Structure 1
């Protein structure tokens, strides 16, 4: 506890570039203290000689000055005149300031703190433990890395974060994070990280730095897989040529995934992921005969051979039973083959037709990617952007561009909000997105509100504000990297929900899913079974759980304890 306290204190101090100024400041204060004591000693001798009629040596003068300045005041040498006592008061007050207030600060600030910082730098982890292999290396710590670290820890995958600042690395190490200090572009750093034995390197820095990281690693190991983020679309080819196996244009992907949740034109299923030959899709029931009916009454399994695996209810993905009733705002999530999804589309196409323009708020990289994805589908898009300076670069991106504040009622109405089937909030300001979600929901209650989110702490707030679907940069990136590690396709269900794979516990082998009591004992929903051959088959109550198979399960963020304890529960 003490070490953690001191570490937190010392993190506020400057780095090694302050070494010489620290020495100069300490020397200056020491000189000031010596001169002050000498002056007080001289004053003591003068007053004693000319006023008190006593003669004392320099040693006695220094002794008296120190005893008074430190407030010890032994009392063996005192003044009897008013002038002498007034001088004693001045010396006493000066000592209180210089020795009792300034000295401790100067000592800690310019001597003890730099010394402790040097020790901390020396003890910062600089290499992985001997024998480390199959680990994931993250080249920086940001919101995306934090989300990925939580998933790596949940799945028991060893991982290490590179932190260039040794002092910060020590703090992270004390907090329990596997960290190694070193430069992200230094060859020695990756050699000490045993990069040749790594399972994956995740380059999550700026595009130029990621290029240098990739080239540095390829000089050490031509085989290790490298996944690199690309901020700009032009960087994709450069990173691939540098040696990255997987280039992730995350903002482009975020825009495409947001666009994939849009309802426009004829009603149809939105495919959100794939498990082998099975597609995961969702569709709205608004303005269809399905509103108010139970899943049992829908008879999807009897008519199409597919099941509803979950239902979106105002931004929350909830498990289902045969008696679950579909509300007007429900979005059932189904899983089936491509032919089954196509057959479902033929049933839905006659309902809820709305060919009015979709509204995109925000003309940044995500907003432009969203607009492009929608227009590729033949959807008409209107865009609102606040910055007049972006007008020239946004011309032609959307079918119609509106410049102004999205909080302006007149602007919103003129852009088509009242009749729009969906609105996408793509700004990187969570507070603004929450504000606009409330506003748009009140102005058009039938509107589907889809929003980007930056900080996970704001997820509940934006759902309460009226958002139907929320997705963040960090969760999308974390899911993308995990899909690479697990050799599967990325499945984006929504913020706070993901699929995970668990080996069939021995105690459940050869039992049917209905008798396994997985749902009752853990609250987790089994969607499918992955066979040893890699084939994924949908889960049914009569399905027999084979010992060499994996359960494909759906879980949410609050269910992480159940996910961690799943195997323990069925030992």
Structure 2
């Protein structure tokens, strides 16, 4: 950088000296032509005067003591003044000042991590996904460093207190500065081509685990060949998840259930039209009595209610978050009568509509094909649709006329899988206006789920949030990529109650965790025995495992509760199940 600045200054000075010299010669020639070199004209025409006039004119100072009287000389004066502004100031900024300022900014940016940093993650490239990943890693107290080539991003991260360095992730010196030889894992998150270059460099230097975030599914093999340990295809995974959600009513097993204690799972059930639960309060529905499940949350209109009151009414297109054994949850699935609604929709030829056929849309379609569902796809590009063996409509997925043509008005389920969030929001608005009763599932890139819910979606899946959570789990637990964290915004975590804990021997009513921090205990495991029927008189025993659900802030408050931040906490987190994917 210093060499480049010196070179720029040398070029700048050379150009200026050359121009001043040429203009001085022209000045002398024109002065002699006008006869101003005659002593009686009281003008001392010599090289010094020539240089003096050129500099005064080019800098627009113009003292007026030396000037041309002829037309040609005056035209030259104008040319010298204009070119002076261009050459003196126009070249000064790009050749000298801008490189100098860039060098000053870069000199203030971090370029090396502490030498003692070890057992950390190296994240190459910053994005909204990395923002979610950082939140997860910070919550897990996992050490990491972000390597970014964009100065402004590094400056912003540095000001936020996030450990980062500026540099090219594919450069050996940069990776050395990130302590790659003592790192646990490296995550590449730039373009596929840049990632391949970074992976090759990293693999030369270390045999650490490398996780690559893939943009183009067709390039997966190249990144694996370059040396990636795991290749994550976020759009494909997200599409498969949304597709499974869409076909859930057609299958008899549970789709998307997550086990968080021994034999105890958590899952969400959309309330489709014609469910007998619609219009009933949780008390009147008697879900626990009839199925054994506990309802720990309700999504309705884009708002999540954790620990709903018994008087809360179940509405059409709301979503119940339930906890129970597999058998109990299957009873609840039958209770919401999803299958009957779906079968009637199929009898009336109410097909699913998939809007968008990119990587996410393709994975959704694959799931629908496996379930033998009837569907139609909407996309702008006819080339990617023709010859695929399914019905399609070519056009703008956010255009009302196109959506009507695709059958949105009578569709049972509408899946919005557009790549641009603004298009997805508008398409959701149009679809909801055309069909108030349909179940609408929408994919999002940025974490803007609430806005899409307000547009009318029943279910929103954010690529950045899902991948951030998934990569965090993959990086620290080495689970495979099909272990998808299903939810967003609400976390489920498990804590081990050690011997001597002030929690041991007390009832939940005495601890009053919900009032103090907002979290809820949804399960307790002790010696292989699991309890989900949690009541106020439930006693917490030593060496038991608590499953806690709450928002990130509530979980953080729980960790601070009862001196959770002491050096020897009596309750320690042993696992992070995930976030509720919304």
In the superposition, the TM-score normalised over structure 1's length comes to 0.79
Show the 5 A alignment for 1:334-345: 334-345=322-333
| Cα separation, 2, equivalents of 1:403 and 1:70 | 62
After superposing the two structures, state which structure 1 stretch, 272-281 or 46-55, moved more.
46-55
- Deviation string for 1:282-316 (max 9, x for gaps)? 22333222122222233333333321111111233
What's the offset of the Cα at 1:504? 6.5
Pick one of 47, 72, 83 that aligns with 2:36.
47
1:515 CA drift (Å)? 3.3
1:139 to 124, 132, 141: 124
SS in 1 for 2:258: strand
Contact 1:312 1:331 in 2 (8 A): yes
- Is 1:159 matched up with 2:144? yes
Is 1:453 aligned with 2:444? Answer: yes
Distance in 2 between the 1:164 and 1:534 partners?
Answer: 50
C-alpha deviation, 1:376, in angstroms: 1.7
Q: 1:395 aligns with which of 379, 388, 403?
A: 388
| 1:321 counterpart SS class | coil
After superposition, the Cα gap between the structure-2 partners of 1:403 and 1:112, relative to the gap in structure 1 and judged at 3 Å, is closer
Question: Is the contact between residue 33 and residue 98 of structure 1 (CA under 8 Å) also seen in structure 2?
Answer: no
* C-alpha contact 1:136 1:198 (8 A) present in aligned 2: yes
Residues 388/267 of structure 1: CA separation in 2 closer, same or farther (3 Å cut): closer
8 Å CA contact 1:263–1:422 kept in 2: the answer is: no
Partner residue in 1 for 2:459: 469
Which of 508, 512, 519 is the matching residue for 1:517?
A: 512
SS across alignment from 1:274: strand
| Structure 2 SS opposite 1:442 | helix
Alpha-carbon distance, 1:447 to partner: 0.2
2:189 aligned with 1:204: yes
Question: 1:191 offset after TM fit, Å?
Answer: 3.9
Change in CA separation of 1:213 and 1:99 when aligned onto 2, cut-off 3 Å: closer
Matched, 1:184 2:169: yes
Partners of 2:398 and 2:424 within 8 A in 1: no
TM-score by length of 2: 0.78
Do the aligned residues in 2 keep the contact of 1:383 with 1:402 (CA within 8 Å)? yes
Q: Which runs of 5+ in 1 are unaligned?
A: 1-13
Match of 2:358 in 1: 364
Within 1, Cα distance between the matches of 2:88 and 2:543? 70
Contact 1:42/1:61 (CA < 8 Å) preserved in 2? no
C-alpha contact 2:508 2:540 (8 A) present in aligned 1: yes
Aligned residues: 544
Asked if structure 1 preserves the Cα contact closer than 8 Å seen for 2:132 and 2:469, the reply is no
Change (3 A) 1:306 1:473: same
CA distance in 2, matches of 1:74, 1:234: 69
Contact 1:203/1:229 (8 A) holds in 2:
yes
The 1:58–1:358 alpha-carbon spacing in structure 2 relative to 1, beyond 3 Å, is: closer
2:18 aligned residue = 31
Q: Distance in 2 between matches of 1:409 and 1:98?
A: 57
In the superposition, relative to structure 1, how do residues 72 and 539 fare at CA in structure 2: closer, same or farther (>3 Å)? farther
Cα 1:412–1:49 shift into 2, 3 Å: same
Whole-angstrom distance in 2 between the partners of 1:315 and 1:441? 14
C-alpha offsets along residues 64-100 of structure 1, whole Å, 9 cap, x if unaligned? 765677677889xx47x9949x989996x78876777
Partner residue in 2 for 1:421: 412
Aligned with 2:266 (options 280, 284, 291): 280
Q: Which residue of 2 aligns with 1:289?
A: 276
Task: Give how far 1:465 is off.
Answer: 1.5
Aligned to 1:10: none
Between 1:160-169 and 1:424-433, the stretch displaced more is 160-169
SS at match of 1:47: coil
Secondary structure of the 1:227 match is strand
Paired residues of 1:37 and 1:66 also in contact (CA < 8 A): no
* Runs of 5+ unmatched residues, structure 2: 564-582
Q: Residue by residue, what CA displacement relative to the aligned partner does 1:137-177 show, whole Å, maximum 9, x if unpaired?
A: 11222232232123323443221122246786566545644
1:26/1:474 CA distance change after superposition, 3 Å? farther
Picking from 431, 440, 455, the partner of 1:440 is 431
Residues 27-74 of structure 1: CA distance to partner in whole angstroms, max 9, x if unpaired?
223422454466557877963746634657654665576567767788
Q: Does 1:112 align with 2:69?
A: no
Alignment partner, residue 566 of structure 2: none
Residues 516-554 of structure 1: CA deviation (Å, up to 9, x unaligned)? 3333233344444577x8997647234444576665444
Contact 1:67 1:73 in 2 (8 A): yes
- In structure 1, what is the equivalent of residue 559 of structure 2? 567
